[in-house]
Amino acid sequence: MDDVRFFERSGPFALQEIAGWLGADVPPGHGDRLIEDVAVLQLAGPAHIAFFDNPKYADDLAATGAGACLVSKRHADKVPASVAALVVARPSAAFNEIMLRFYPDAVRPVPVWDDAPAGNGIHPTATIEEGAIVEPGAVVGVGARIGRGTRILAGSVIGRRVQIGRDGSVGPNATVMHALLGDRVMVHPGVRIGQDGFGFVMGPAGHKKVPQIGRVIVQDDVEIGANSAIDRGALRDTVIGEGTKIDNMVQIGHNVVIGRHCVIVSQVGIAGSATLGDFVAIGGQAGIMNHVTVGDRAQVATLSAVKEDLAPDGRYGGVPARPAREWLREVAALQKIARDYLTERRAPERADENGHEREHD
């Protein structure tokens, strides 16, 4: 799959200039260092700036290859000596300001066309392989590529630079933006792929939108049910592994990574940066919290809430989700307590003032 970038990037900027935007001091000898892009700690290189504000990622900070890192005063001593530390009061908010400088257009929807559509709705720069079909009313944007045997149905919108592989389908009124889809991917009606994730920096003046500059990667043989939504990544990609089957009305947040051959049933919600291993099964209306990892082949029961990591090969259920046997024992115990309580409450109603049980009609 090609390495496609969906947003135009400004820069590079000298670290001294970046520090000036934030009112921060640059460590001696680092002011002329050029910063070409933003990145998360794990993926950052010498030309990237990252941020750290969650102790959960202390190991990532210690191992980062970033050229610079935004950090609060209390964590400044944890930054590796090779990384220029910019000390700020709120690292995540400061990082958002930097992202807005590098990617000023990422907080608004990117146009599918640079000018008004004409003719059949296929932009002249789009590539439609022989055997692909674009039905009337569908729009294919600037530089998009549609593979042989794929059908783009009426009313759907394929965004600029999107790539869709061979022998797939995009259903009526679906939208695919900022995404790369593999072969034999089936997208049902009303699906939304690649819109920005739900990210805001909260402050006393209101909530400032966080640019989402990642992509959605959908691997081969994935099926996505009607009216489901898959947000693009913030700094990294949202990934749906090969062979995974997603039911109708499923919400998948930004930066989520779903493994191969998973089954996700209707109305499941998966919050940002959650990770599902291979062959995971999630029952209907279950919820997966952000930054949680669900191990390979784990099964989660309907209506469960996963708020902590789940080990591979287990069966889980309840709120919060826990091993299924433990959960079922607790449910049985609660039912027994409730029955005993109700039995005790009814006992006085069945006896008269002499303690004899009343006869009922």
CA 164 vs. chain centroid, Å, equals: 20
In whole angstroms, what is the distance from residue 133 CA to residue 153 CA?
8
Catalytic residue among 178, 254, 291, 360, which? Answer: 254
In sequence order, the β-bridge partners of residue 145 are 127, 163
Pairing relationship of beta strands 34-35 and 13-14 according to DSSP bridges: antiparallel
Residue for token pair 């000018």 = 115
Q: What is the longest distance spanned by two Cα atoms in the chain? A: 96
Tokens of 332: 């049985």
Give, in degrees to the nearest 5, the angle at Cα 352 between 350 and 353.
Answer: 140
In whole angstroms, what is the distance from residue 14 CA to residue 67 CA?
11
Handedness of CA 168, 272, 192, 216 (dihedral sign): negative
In whole angstroms, what is the distance from residue 276 CA to residue 297 CA?
9
Residues in the chain: 361
Hey, is 325 helix, strand or coil?
Answer: helix
- Does 254 participate in catalysis according to the annotation? yes
Strand order in the sheet with 223-224: 133-134, 151-152, 169-170, 186-187, 223-224, 245-246, 263-264, 281-282, 299-300, 315-317, 322-323
Do the beta carbons of residue 1 and residue 182 sit within 8 Å? yes
Do the beta carbons of residue 150 and residue 166 sit within 8 Å? yes
Pairing relationship of beta strands 322-323 and 315-317 according to DSSP bridges: antiparallel
Q: Supply the residues annotated as catalytic.
A: 254
